Structure 1
Amino acid sequence: MTALAAAATSLFGAAAARAQTPEIQELLGDLPVIGHPQSGAVGWQPAATELARDIHWLDGMLLWIISGIVLLVMALILIVIVRYNRRANPTPKRFTHNSPLEIAWTIVPIVILVFIGSFSLPVLFKQQVIPEGDINIKVTGYQWYWGYEYVDEGVYFDAFMIGSGAGQINEEVVDQLESYGYSADDYLLAADNAVVVPVGATVVMTVTGADVIHSWTIPAFGVKQDAVPGRLAQLWFAPEIEGVYFGQCSELCGKDHAYMPIVVKVVDQETYDAWLELAREEYPA
């Protein structure tokens, strides 16, 4: 009975946290949408952090290296096909190995890998070495929503997908989206409560899971961290552009895995301070 009462209390608290006040909606309503997936587009979302820019640059550099290797291998295959087919080379050579060639195809890949590592490892270390945070947020993944606690500010709220019970978009869901300042294109991406952070601040997030493994990610920030039950992991970012950024749970976590979106709104310091005052009243931890 105690467990059932606790579960009921948790569900009631989650439902109560879904309503965002008109004051908060008005305060955060006039922001450009930047981190948004585009239908049919190819490539990255615009980078809004230094981490994302580093990842994009590394990806471009690796693409050039990979393309060069593919072209070289294809050229060698074509040469062998043309020069050493049965008609052009009726009497094949008989040998077992070629020492200079074997040394070359051993050393060259090593050099390539060392070159790649010299650029990729600093990017990895920059992601994994967590700095001192201006804002510290604990993120908990649930089936199937997110809980956020601003640990230094006494603020806690849950974030559910807008229209999560509808099954598909309809006029009622569109009205809900518009009431929160979103459009119909944001269906499956918009949540009723967003993480709000000031531009330029270093945000450190401690990520965990309450039931199964989830994964918290914002592509435009270049961050992704699994939320594992019983473990605490961290990520950090410092957003540079004000706007709205979308993400989604990126670890298969059950039947509603596709319906637990992530929304981060980056605002100026004055707007953040005003939001924090309202949030302390509306979402006390």
Structure 2
Amino acid sequence: MFLVALIFIIISYGMVDSLRADYAEKWQLDFQDPATPVMEGIINLHHDLWFFLILIAVFVLWILLRTLWFFDRSRGTVPSKVVHGTVLEIVWTIAPSFILLAIAIPSFALLYSMEESTDPAITLKAIGHQWYWSYEYSDYTTDSESLAFDSYMLPESELKEGQLRLLEVDNRIFLPTHTHLRVLITSSDVLHSWAVPSLGVKVDACPGRLNQASIFLKREGIFYGQCSEICGVNHGFMPIVIEAVPLKEYVSWVSSQIQI
């Protein structure tokens, strides 16, 4: 029975690639599965903040309900006439300070780790256009030209079975796993934003300026992203697709592209 169900799932999706894909699902409220240490840190920080948020929300709700219950006019309860309490004011000033400090320390650690740059083995340059992305692998040159290509969204009429509407592109980015990568992001016209949720990357693409992101892919897969800066009428049609593959497969892909 389990085997029949598994075969049915594979047939339903149509392609094995879609089973490896990381993309937003219908009614998804949680994060996508992390593929980089940075995204793991973002998710862990989010869960830690929720711990404090729930404690504070429950405590405030308890105080509110308790006040409404015990100080209902129909009960004839006479409230205290005290309008100032030094100890109480010190407590409710110091306690939030410690909570903010407990939140700030891991937040700053994560921010610094996101900005930290390790000597990259591969550099990818992403250039935003109205309305598509172009990419350059500047580490590989042939006849003084870098390995470069444009990446357009596939129209719905060209989608194959199992491919994702508004997310598939004609040329995917290939990157190796377990390798330190650097992505340089810029724009040729207006503001764009290069964002891939599974990687924990969201970097603005500004005309005349190079922004940088460091990536270390921990697993293979297909990761989907989109432009996250309102850049014009076709802003919603600038998907990003990254295919993370083993280093040997990446080298083979680079070789085939250079030969072309």
TM more than 0.5: yes
Q: Secondary structure at the match of 1:136?
A: strand
Is 1:87 the counterpart of 2:74 in the alignment? yes
Name which of 18, 23, 41 aligns with 1:54: 41
Indicate conservation of the 8 Å contact 2:71/2:78, yes or no: no
Q: How does 1:143-162 map to 2 (within 5 A)?
A: 143-153=130-140, 154-162=146-154
In structure 2, how many angstroms separate the alpha carbons of the residues matched to 1:228 and 1:34? Answer: 29
Q: Secondary structure at the match of 1:93?
A: coil
Range with bigger deviation, 86-95 or 44-53: 86-95
Which residue does the alignment assign to 1:250? 228
In 2 relative to 1, CA 36–139 (structure 1 residues): closer, same or farther, beyond 3 Å?
A: same
Task: Please give the per-residue CA displacement for 1:31-81, whole angstroms capped at 9, x wherever unaligned.
Answer: 553312111222111111111111111111111110111111111111111
- Shift in Å, 1:89: 4.8
Which residue does the alignment assign to 1:120? 107
Which residue does the alignment assign to 1:212? 190
In structure 2, how many angstroms separate the alpha carbons of the residues matched to 1:44 and 1:92? Answer: 47
Q: CA RMSD in A?
A: 1.6
Indicate conservation of the 8 Å contact 1:133/1:202, yes or no: yes
Is 1:227 the counterpart of 2:200 in the alignment? no
Counterpart residue type for residue 254 of structure 2:
L
Q: Secondary structure at the match of 1:151?
A: strand
Structure 1 moving runs of 4+ over 4 Å: 29-32
Indicate conservation of the 8 Å contact 2:37/2:216, yes or no: yes
In structure 1, how many angstroms separate the alpha carbons of the residues matched to 2:186 and 2:259? Answer: 25
Is 1:64 the counterpart of 2:43 in the alignment? no
Q: Secondary structure at the match of 2:133?
A: strand
Counterpart residue type for residue 27 of structure 2:
G
- Shift in Å, 1:211: 1.2
In structure 2, how many angstroms separate the alpha carbons of the residues matched to 1:89 and 1:278? Answer: 85
Which residue does the alignment assign to 1:130? 117
In structure 2, how many angstroms separate the alpha carbons of the residues matched to 1:210 and 1:72? Answer: 51
Q: Secondary structure at the match of 2:139?
A: coil
Counterpart residue type for residue 281 of structure 1:
Q
- Shift in Å, 1:224: 0.8
Name which of 151, 162, 165 aligns with 1:187: 165
Taking structure 2 as the reference length, the TM-score comes to 0.87
Is 1:239 the counterpart of 2:231 in the alignment? no
Counterpart residue type for residue 68 of structure 2:
I
Structure number with the higher strand fraction is 2
Taking structure 1 as the reference length, the TM-score comes to 0.80
Name which of 241, 248, 259 aligns with 1:270: 248
Counterpart residue type for residue 149 of structure 2:
F
Task: Please give the per-residue CA displacement for 1:158-210, whole angstroms capped at 9, x wherever unaligned.
Answer: 100001xxxxx3xxx2xx222xxx624x1100111111111111111111111
Is 1:177 the counterpart of 2:178 in the alignment? no
Which residue does the alignment assign to 1:77? 64
Name which of 32, 36, 43 aligns with 1:45: 32
- Shift in Å, 1:84: 2.1
In structure 1, how many angstroms separate the alpha carbons of the residues matched to 2:199 and 2:77? Answer: 59
Range with bigger deviation, 130-139 or 256-265: 130-139
In 2 relative to 1, CA 281–85 (structure 1 residues): closer, same or farther, beyond 3 Å?
A: same
Which residue does the alignment assign to 1:198? 176
In 2 relative to 1, CA 104–149 (structure 1 residues): closer, same or farther, beyond 3 Å?
A: same
In structure 1, how many angstroms separate the alpha carbons of the residues matched to 2:234 and 2:177? Answer: 32
In 2 relative to 1, CA 30–155 (structure 1 residues): closer, same or farther, beyond 3 Å?
A: farther
Range with bigger deviation, 87-96 or 116-125: 87-96
- Shift in Å, 1:90: 4.7
Indicate conservation of the 8 Å contact 1:58/1:119, yes or no: yes
